[in-house]
Amino acid sequence: MSAQTLSIAILSGKGGVGKTNITLNLALALRQAGSSVLVVDGDLGLANIDVLMGFTPGKTVWDVLQGKATLDQALHTDASGVSILPAASGTGTQASLDQASCQQFLRLVRPLAEKHDFLLLDLGAGLSDTVRLLARAATIQLVVTTPEPTALTDAYALIKVLHTSHKLSNFLVAVNNIFSENETALTRTRLVNACKKFLQLSPKMLGAVRHDELLKDAVARRTPLLKLHPESMAAQDITAIARKLRSLRKKMITEGTISPCLSLRARQTAAGTAAPAAKKAPASAQARTGTLARKK
């Protein structure tokens, strides 16, 4: 089934844009539509999927990596049928993995992921080595942002580095916490058009999620929005995004364009030969060279 598992790395340039909430509620919406879904918490040192889902993990991915638990022992299956591999939080040492550890992580998770229609890999914010390595292993890179200038600038920096240094190009964009359609249009102008102009890259706008006070209630009650308030505005928007992802998967299966699940592909040069291993992530100021902040 590996050729039918659509793996999606869910990323953000900065924290606080609602990436994990989007991930969990997307998983629920996909499951409600009949798809099997595995969510992997890839924020290995600052995990919070378990917090938002309202459960306390007995074992985590890190225990599996250390040989202290099996994958089945770490796997949590929600009452809705969504499968979740939680990570640890606050221990520090596992926040960053080198390439060998990333390969081990992917080898462990791949057989489980291949049993599902969708793999949602919720990665940490920013451009750590772990984020960049794991993002390369997914077929699609979904960038979550908000309309704020800082979030858009950091989203552009993220796309720029992953595209120019790792040759990734299958970017989707979801805009969270919008107050009006004008903000969606503004994001398209500032982010998508900037990518077209300066990177010769065309990320696709997947959808927008409206600002919804009911989301705060869901977070406070440690229950996903689609469970607690399924008719809310934000829940409806996330469900619409899930429909687009199901359609995209169907289209990619027909075309044969879904890459092998969780394969850490060597990044390619323009000539198509394998490039050297990625260097350390550039400093924030370097990553933003030529970013939206400087674009008129």
Per-residue pLDDT of the chain (296 residues; tens, 9 = 90+): 446 999 999 999 999 999 999 999 999 999 999 999 999 988 876 667 888 888 888 888 888 888 899 999 999 998 899 999 998 765 555 456 778 888 888 999 999 999 999 999 999 899 988 899 999 999 999 999 999 999 999 999 999 999 999 999 999 999 999 999 999 998 988 999 999 999 999 999 999 999 999 999 999 999 999 999 999 999 999 999 999 999 999 999 999 999 888 876 544 433 333 444 444 444 343 444 344 544 43
Its pTM stands at 0.87
Residue 275: the pLDDT is 42
Q: Which helix (H) or strand (E) holds 6?
A: strand 6-11
Residue 271: the pLDDT is 33
Residue 65: the pLDDT is 83
**Within 10 Å of residue 90's Cβ, how many Cβ atoms?**
8
Residue 84: the pLDDT is 93
3-state secondary structure of 103: helix
3-state secondary structure of 113: helix
3-state secondary structure of 247: helix
Amino acid present at 172: L
Residue 16: the pLDDT is 92
**Within 10 Å of residue 18's Cβ, how many Cβ atoms?**
20
Residue 83: the pLDDT is 95
Residue 293: the pLDDT is 43
Angle at 139 between CA 138 and CA 143, to 5 degrees: 75
Residue 89: the pLDDT is 61
Q: Which helix (H) or strand (E) holds 68?
A: none
C-alpha distance from residue 129 to each of 75, 89, 97, 282 (Å): 25, 18, 7, 10
